[in-house]
Every structure is written in structure tokens, then in C-alpha cells.
Amino acid sequence: MARTFAIGDIHGCNEALRAVLKEIDPQKEDTIVALGDYVDRGPDSADVIEQLIELQNKCTVKPLLGNHEAMMIMALREPSELDFWLSCGGRETLKSYGGEVEKIPPTHLEFLDACELHFETDDYFFVHANYSADKPLEKQQDYVLLWEHLTSHLPKKHVSGKKAVVGHTPQKDGEVLLVKDHLICIDTYCYGGGWLTALNTGTQTVIQADLDGKIREV
């Protein structure tokens, strides 16, 4: 039976991702939606991107663009933006590539360029950060999808009637945020001492791992 998993903000936590994917044991018919912010702050963003690229050989992967990928892409195209990205966690990312922009593999850049702003199934939709409840996904503002925290605006149920799965707003207690019956936030602050969360949307159960790859019994 086909399964759909969403994975929250990874932020370079490569061992956490490796552990979560091992627990999921992806099959060809499965879909994994990565909610963005694969890079910055954590120990090995390069390995995270490589794992997600390799994952595409095992199942369907739907990578979403996060604000940190957006910063990285902008910095690589516009040198004037480099310092801003580096100050937001990019230094750790660049270090994982050997300290030089030129060492970032073309396949990794292609992966980042292919990231989308949203994805949806029959019952769920997935975005990185937030959404406007009264607008269809294709008419959402990029700022809202990539940057707006739930602490700034907690949206009502989306006009589509589907349940939202988002990241971006870190839950520093490491617990998944549930908002009534219409929104789930699975950024559970892995790089800061919390967990990386994978949500099985069919069973509404989670798999969590810490920075070192230790699985949490939930």
C-alpha cells in the first residue's frame, strides 16, 4: 500500500535524516515530501542533499523550497547576497562542501533549482512555512510560503478543505504542533536539540530522530 510521509526542517542534520529514512524504509510506491530547509546550521548539509538525491532512486520525492534554500540560491547567483546567507547558517553549509562555492556539485544545484513551493494530495497540502487560508495554492505569495512564521499569523482552515502540513516555525520543545483539525507543524528543532520529524499522513503517526541519529520512541 502506498504511503505518504512528510519530513520537517532538516537543517544539515544528516545523521537524523539517515536514521529516519532507515525507519521509513521507503518503497517504490511511497511518496516522501521534504518540507524545505535542508541546508544551514547543522553539521552536514552536503550529505543531506546527497541523501535526498539518492532517495529519488527508491521512491517518489517531492522536495519543497525553504527560505534557506532560497537564500542559498540567491547567494550563489548574486555575490552581493553571500554575506547575508553566510550569517544565516550558510557558513556551516559551505564548510560541508569544503569551504568553497566552486565545490558544490552541479547535481546539488539542480536539486535545489527543482524544488517546488507546494505539493498536495487528496487530503493534505504541504508548504514550507505558512499559507493564506482564502487563496488557492497557486496564488499564494512567496513570502508567506517561504518566510512567514505561524507565530506571526496562525491561519484558519484552507479554502480547499485540506489539512496543511508545514515546517519553518521551530517547536523548541521538540513536539509536533497540532492546530485544531487543519494544521500540523513538524519543524521540531532538530539542529537545536530537538528532533527531526517524519509524519505518516495515512496513519498520522510520527518517526523522530535526534541530531546523532537516535530514534525516539513516540
pLDDT in tens, 124-142: 999 999 999 999 999 999 9
On whether the CB atoms of residues 133 and 155 are closer than 8 A, the answer is yes
Q: What is the CATH number of the domain that holds 139?
A: 3.60.21.10
Structural domain of 135: 4-216
Q: What is the layout of strands, in order, in the sheet containing 124-127? A: 118-120, 124-127, 163-166, 183-185, 177-179
pLDDT in tens, 188-205: 999 999 999 999 999 999
Segment 5-26 mean pLDDT: 98
pLDDT in tens, 35-72: 999 999 999 999 999 999 999 999 999 999 999 999 99
Question: Given pLDDT bands bounded at 50, 70 and 90, which one contains residue 218?
Answer: confident
Rounded Cα distance, 189 and 196, in Å: 7
Question: Given pLDDT bands bounded at 50, 70 and 90, which one contains residue 164?
Answer: very high
Count of domains for the chain: 1
**DSSP element (H, E) containing 127:** strand 124-127
Rounded Cα distance, 150 and 153, in Å: 5
